[in-house]
C-alpha cells in the first residue's frame, strides 16, 4: 500500500534527451517503490527546494528507474541549471484529477449536464490535458472562454477530442 507521507531526497537536475521536456530529476528506487507499489497510480505532488510545488507523474526511464520532469518555468523560478543539486519532496497526489480544476471550467460543467457527462467519461490523461488547457491562462475571462470552448467541443464531437480543431477554437472565438 502506498504511503501518504512525503519522501525527501536530493537529486541532480538532468538535461533530458526526450523532445517533450527539457529537464528532469531521477527518483531514488526506494522512493519510487514506496510511492508506487505494483502498478498503482503514479500521480505525485513534487516540491523543489521547498519553494515550488506542482503536480506530476513518476515516469519510467525504461531501465526500471523513474524520473520527474521539471519544466523551464520552474527551473527559471528557482534559478536552476542542469547539474544543479535540488532538494525534492514527493508525495502521492490524492486530488480528484491530478491537476487543479479551474473554477471557471467547474462552473461551466455544473451548468451543462451533457458537457459534464462527456468530460467525466474521458480518460484521466485527457481530463488532465483539458484541465491544463482551461487553466493555463492568467485572466479569468480567458479561462471562461476556454471552458466554454472545451464544453462546446466535447458536445460537438460526441465526447471525442480533436486537438487540432480544439486548438483553433481556442484561438478563434467564432468558427
Please, which pLDDT band fits residue 15 given cuts at 50, 70 and 90?
Answer: very high
Residues 50, 86: one domain? yes
pLDDT digits (tens, 9 = 90+) for 19-30: 777 899 999 999
Same domain, 88 and 107: no
Mean pLDDT of 157-171: 92
Looking at the structure, tell me whether residues 15 and 80 fall in a common domain.
Answer: yes
Q: Would 45 be classed as within a structural domain? A: yes
**Cell numbers placing 80:** 536552476
Rounded Cα gap, residues 52 and 23, in angstroms: 15
Task: Show the cell assigned to 119.
Answer: 468530460
Domain count, the chain: 2
Range of the domain at 39: 7-92
Per-residue pLDDT tens digits for 95-134: 899 889 999 999 999 999 999 999 999 999 999 999 999 9
Averaged pLDDT for residues 143-170: 94
Asked, for residue 98, whether it belongs to a domain, the answer is: no
Q: Is residue 73 in a domain?
A: yes
Amino acid at each position: 500500500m502506498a504511503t501518504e507521507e512525503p519522501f525527501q531526497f536530493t537529486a541532480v537536475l538532468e538535461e533530458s534527451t526526450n523532445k517533450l521536456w527539457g529537464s528532469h530529476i531521477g527518483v531514488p528506487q526506494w522512493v519510487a517503490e514506496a510511492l508506487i507499489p505494483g502498478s498503482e497510480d503514479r500521480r505525485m505532488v513534487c516540491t523543489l527546494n521547498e519553494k515550488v510545488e506542482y503536480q506530476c507523474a513518476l515516469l519510467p526511464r525504461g531501465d526500471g528507474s523513474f524520473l520527474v520532469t521539471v519544466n523551464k518555468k520552474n527551473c527559471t523560478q528557482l534559478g536552476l541549471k542542469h547539474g544543479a543539486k535540488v532538494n525534492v519532496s514527493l508525495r502521492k497526489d490524492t486530488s480528484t484529477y491530478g491537476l487543479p480544476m479551474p473554477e471557471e471550467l467547474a462552473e461551466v460543467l455544473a451548468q451543462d449536464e451533457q458537457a459534464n457527462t462527456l468530460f467525466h467519461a474521458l480518460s484521466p490523461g485527457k481530463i488532465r490535458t483539458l484541465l491544463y488547457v482551461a487553466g493555463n491562462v492568467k485572466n479569468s475571462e480567458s479561462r471562461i472562454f476556454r471552458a466554454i470552448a472545451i464544453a462546446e467541443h466535447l458536445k460537438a464531437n460526441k465526447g471525442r477530442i480533436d486537438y487540432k480543431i480544439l486548438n483553433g477554437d481556442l484561438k478563434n472565438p467564432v468558427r
